[in-house]
Amino acid sequence: MWVHLALKALLLPPVPQLALWGVLTRFRVRWAAGIVVATLLIPTLPMTAWILGQTLTTPPMIKPPPRAMIVVLGGGRLRQAPEYDHQDAPSTQTLERLRYGAALSRRYHLPIMVSGGAVMDGEVPEAQLMQRILIHDFAVMPAYLFTEDQSRNTHENAIDVAKKLGRGTEVILVTQALHMPRAMTEFQAAGLHPWAAAVGYYQPPSLPLLWFFPQISATSYVSFAWWEFWGRIMEKAGTMLR
């Protein structure tokens, strides 16, 4: 897992740009500085984030199947959050998924399974954190809640959910829009029938001129898209090795 975290840090900006700078200067490429500056600037633009969102995400779900299990994937945690007495709490992405999962459950009267384990030894499984939030903050009845608390990544999410629900089960998959294609592939490979119910679509500024000025929200979205790109490559490599 430490290797995974280190690799993630090395693949995200500005590390690739620094590596590119080293290569370009080594071979004395003309306009090396301009090329590197462009690769640093382009990922910060709302236009870039919007194009990636249109290219890499699936449309919002219109209507789910009548009998299905809503499966909300964990999206990380805030470790020892000071505002919660230094207890772990779900991350912003996880809360976004939980809110939508709870809304779908109320709208269609469907049960929810939360999926996510503990990456570090001694941690409370993420599924347990998610379960508490659904009960106490979103008023989901415990009878409607199920947990899968052993998985540590998307591949294990799919395998462990399939073990609990059985192959062939229809599931409404709730995760980030950029993460959805990879999650759908894993859940299909595990023998489940997933329906995409994504959250976190990128919304560009309402003023078109601002699409061409750097914004933190665009930078964050593009970084997530970049990581998902590498996630798909590693997923394919893992499939070849399994």
DSSP classification of residue 213: S
Contacting residues for 105 by C-beta, under 8 A, at least 6 apart: 70, 111, 112, 140, 144
pLDDT-based confidence at residue 18 (cuts at 50, 70, 90):
confident
Average pLDDT over residues 167-185: 96
pLDDT-based confidence at residue 21 (cuts at 50, 70, 90):
confident
pLDDT-based confidence at residue 5 (cuts at 50, 70, 90):
low
pLDDT of residue 109: 95
Give the residue carrying structure tokens 């939980």: 98
Model pTM?
0.87
Task: Work out the mean pLDDT of the chain and round it to a whole number.
Answer: 90
* CB burial of residue 13 (10 Å; 0-12, 13-18, 19+): middle
pLDDT-based confidence at residue 4 (cuts at 50, 70, 90):
low
Q: pLDDT tens-digit profile of 116-165?
A: 999 888 899 999 999 999 999 999 999 999 999 999 999 999 999 999 99
Going across the sheet that includes 69-73, the strands are 145-148, 112-115, 69-73, 170-176, 193-199
Domains located in the chain, CATH noted: 69-199 (3.40.50.620)
Q: pLDDT tens-digit profile of 82-130?
A: 999 999 999 999 999 999 999 999 999 999 999 999 988 889 999 999 9
pLDDT-based confidence at residue 61 (cuts at 50, 70, 90):
confident
